[in-house]
């Protein structure tokens, strides 16, 4: 029996603490005194236009120094994620600043992972594991955004992703019946139609092999995905025509790409310790990745599973130490800790602004640059932002 109230996601963590806060107060006072001197002009008043310019500049400084959590707190968005609590994988949803986490699943006999929220914010697709070891079966499920009306859609299915109209769920069939936790253990691509229950293959499905982490471009024209040891590629990030057989190699290192909701940027993990943002035009017939605009680095911890806020202004991702799981945890497997189904000790969710440029070192970042959304280290992974759908009559 699960406890009536889920454990808080804000518990002590062994990760290195963030640098001390307080920049807003101390720098703000200095800026104010400097502004007073400028405005007073040592006893003289400045012209009104110059006074306005100075005031706007000081306001910009204060805004830049506001803790990121305060910006997130007012957003109308939420974030779903997987967490491991009470010897069970569960799916939680929380506010954009990490507050008010709610366990949506609460199923002791089943392990739910990899939540993907529909673009209209009404449903969550996810995978659920039953059984242990090579006998485990991973299945595709869908439920309402509040965790109600669960329905199983397919067995031996992985990596769900939504069509732009929220009517179809794409997924990657498992390569062989015997379970393997490795994320690229897939062959083909299929789509489940929620209205009819029909499952249809991608038009180029027979040529799609060892993909993982697929997602649609906002215009529905492309599907971006990682490939590993398949389709003539050792390891790379591909664009697949959603309705044809065109395959483009984006020629960028790393894995787990995610296209921004406005279709103008792609974020991905360039390696275990770096997440990158770069421009891309998904309306083009041959999209290419432009100059890297933001590089988020953490040489101490791994950073993975990047996802965009619905307004394309913020990123959320997972962060934690290297590891290969803990087989003493029921329903988990052994592999690199970023893999779905592998327990990642002391992994938490973080957020940064996607509007900045340059390099952000998380181990030197201030609370204006970066914030932790969870701190209990309960293998919090695979964040998925969403704007909750309005109920009828609201």
Long-range contacts of range 88-96, CB-CB < 8 Å, 24 or more positions apart?
A: 88/330, 88/331, 89/113, 89/129, 89/331, 89/332, 89/341, 90/6, 91/115, 91/124, 91/126, 91/147, 92/6, 92/9, 93/145, 94/9, 94/373, 94/374, 96/72, 96/309, 96/314, 96/351, 96/385
Distance CA 349, CA 314 (A): 13
Mean pLDDT of 139-162: 98
Same domain? For 51 and 126 the reply is no
Does 288 map to a domain? yes
Does 104 map to a domain? yes
Q: Which residue has the higher pLDDT, 292 or 39?
A: 292
Q: How confident is the model at residue 391 (pLDDT cuts 50, 70, 90)?
A: low
Does 14 map to a domain? no
Same domain? For 265 and 354 the reply is yes
Q: How confident is the model at residue 28 (pLDDT cuts 50, 70, 90)?
A: very low
Does 249 map to a domain? yes
Judged by DSSP in three states, 61 sits in: helix
Same domain? For 167 and 285 the reply is yes
Judged by DSSP in three states, 7 sits in: coil
Element (H, E) at 127: strand 123-130
Domain hosting residue 31, numbered range: 23-64
Same domain? For 55 and 154 the reply is no
- The pairing of strands 381-386 and 157-162 is unpaired
Q: How confident is the model at residue 49 (pLDDT cuts 50, 70, 90)?
A: low
Pick the last residue of a domain from 32, 49, 64: 64
Element (H, E) at 64: helix 48-64
Q: Which two tokens stand for residue 330?
A: 């029921």
The answer, yes or no, to whether residue 13 has pLDDT greater than 70, is no
What is the per-residue pLDDT for 34?
Answer: 36
Same domain? For 313 and 193 the reply is yes
Residue 232, judged by CB atoms within 10 A of its CB (0-12, 13-18, 19+), counts as exposed
Same domain? For 112 and 158 the reply is yes
Question: How do residues 91-124 score in pLDDT, each as one tens digit?
Answer: 999 999 999 999 999 998 899 999 999 999 999 9
The answer, yes or no, to whether residue 371 has pLDDT greater than 60, is yes
Same domain? For 166 and 60 the reply is no
Same domain? For 40 and 79 the reply is no
The answer, yes or no, to whether residue 37 has pLDDT greater than 70, is no
Nearest to 293 by CA among 256, 252, 327: 252
What is the per-residue pLDDT for 47?
Answer: 58
CATH number of domain containing 84: 2.120.10.30
Judged by DSSP in three states, 261 sits in: coil
Lowest mean pLDDT, pick from 2-6, 108-112, 114-118, 370-374? 2-6
Q: Which residue has the higher pLDDT, 118 or 14?
A: 118
CB 315 within 8 A of CB 305: no
Domain count, the chain: 2
Same domain? For 100 and 60 the reply is no
Pick the last residue of a domain from 64, 79, 97: 64
What is the per-residue pLDDT for 124?
Answer: 98
Same domain? For 190 and 148 the reply is yes
Same domain? For 370 and 268 the reply is yes
Q: How confident is the model at residue 25 (pLDDT cuts 50, 70, 90)?
A: very low
pLDDT > 90 fraction of the chain, expressed in percent and rounded: 81
Q: Nearest 5°: phi and psi at 57?
A: -65, -45
What is the average pLDDT value for the chain, to the nearest integer?
88
Does 236 map to a domain? yes
Q: How confident is the model at residue 59 (pLDDT cuts 50, 70, 90)?
A: very low
The answer, yes or no, to whether residue 266 has pLDDT greater than 90, is yes
CB 171 within 8 A of CB 183: no
Pick the last residue of a domain from 64, 83, 116: 64
* DSSP string over 360-387: EETTT--TTTEEES--S-B--EEEEEE-
What is the per-residue pLDDT for 109?
Answer: 82
Mean pLDDT of 243-268: 98
Same domain? For 53 and 118 the reply is no
Distance CA 17, CA 375 (A): 10
Does 1 map to a domain? no
What is the per-residue pLDDT for 162?
Answer: 98
Does 372 map to a domain? yes
Question: How do residues 156-215 score in pLDDT, each as one tens digit?
Answer: 999 999 999 999 999 999 999 999 999 999 999 999 999 999 999 999 999 999 999 999
The answer, yes or no, to whether residue 141 has pLDDT greater than 80, is yes
What is the per-residue pLDDT for 65?
Answer: 82
Does 366 map to a domain? yes
Question: How do residues 325-339 score in pLDDT, each as one tens digit?
Answer: 999 999 999 999 999
What is the per-residue pLDDT for 108?
Answer: 87
CB 92 within 8 A of CB 103: yes
Mean pLDDT of 19-29: 32
The answer, yes or no, to whether residue 237 has pLDDT greater than 80, is yes
């Amino acid at each position: 029996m699960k406890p009536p109230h889920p454990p808080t996601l804000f518990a002590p963590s062994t990760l290195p603490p963030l640098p001390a806060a307080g920049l807003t107060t101390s720098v703000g006072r200095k800026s104010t005194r400097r502004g007073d001197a400028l405005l007073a002009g040592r006893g003289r008043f400045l012209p009104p236009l110059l006074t306005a310019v100075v005031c706007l500049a000081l306001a910009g400084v204060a805004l830049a120094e506001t803790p990121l959590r305060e910006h997130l707190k007012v957003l109308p968005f939420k974030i779903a994620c997987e967490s491991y609590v009470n010897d069970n994988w569960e799916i939680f949803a929380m506010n954009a600043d990490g507050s008010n986490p709610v366990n949506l699943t609460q199923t002791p006999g089943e392990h739910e992972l990899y939540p993907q929220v529909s673009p209209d914010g009404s449903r969550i697709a996810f995978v659920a594991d039953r059984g242990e070891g090579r006998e485990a079966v991973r299945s595709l499920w869908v439920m309402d955004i509040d965790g109600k009306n669960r329905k199983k859609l397919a067995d031996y299915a992985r990596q769900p992703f939504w069509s732009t109209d929220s009517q179809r769920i794409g997924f990657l069939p498992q390569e062989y019946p015997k379970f393997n936790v490795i994320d690229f253990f897939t062959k083909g691509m299929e789509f489940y139609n929620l209205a009819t229950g029909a499952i249809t293959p991608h038009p180029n499905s027979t040529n799609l092999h060892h993909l993982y982490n697929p997602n649609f471009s906002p215009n529905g024209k492309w599907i971006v995905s990682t490939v590993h040891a398949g389709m003539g590629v050792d390891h790379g990030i591909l664009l697949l025509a959603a309705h044809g057989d065109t395959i483009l190699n984006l020629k960028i290192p790393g894995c787990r790409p995610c296209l921004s909701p406005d279709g103008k940027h792609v974020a991905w993990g360039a390696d275990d310790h770096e997440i990158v943002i770069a421009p891309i035009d998904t309306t083009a017939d041959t999209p290419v990745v432009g100059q890297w605009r933001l590089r988020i680095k953490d040489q101490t911890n791994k950073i993975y599973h990047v996802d965009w806020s619905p307004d394309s202004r913020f990123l959320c991702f997972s962060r934690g130490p290297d590891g290969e799981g803990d087989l003493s945890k029921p329903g988990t497997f052994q592999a690199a800790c970023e893999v779905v189904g592998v327990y990642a000790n002391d992994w938490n969710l973080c957020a940064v602004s996607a509007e900045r440029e340059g390099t952000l070192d998380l181990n030197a970042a201030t609370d204006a640059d970066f914030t932790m959304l969870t701190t209990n280290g309960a293998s919090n992974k695979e964040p998925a932002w969403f704007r909750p759908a309005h109920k009828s009559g609201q």
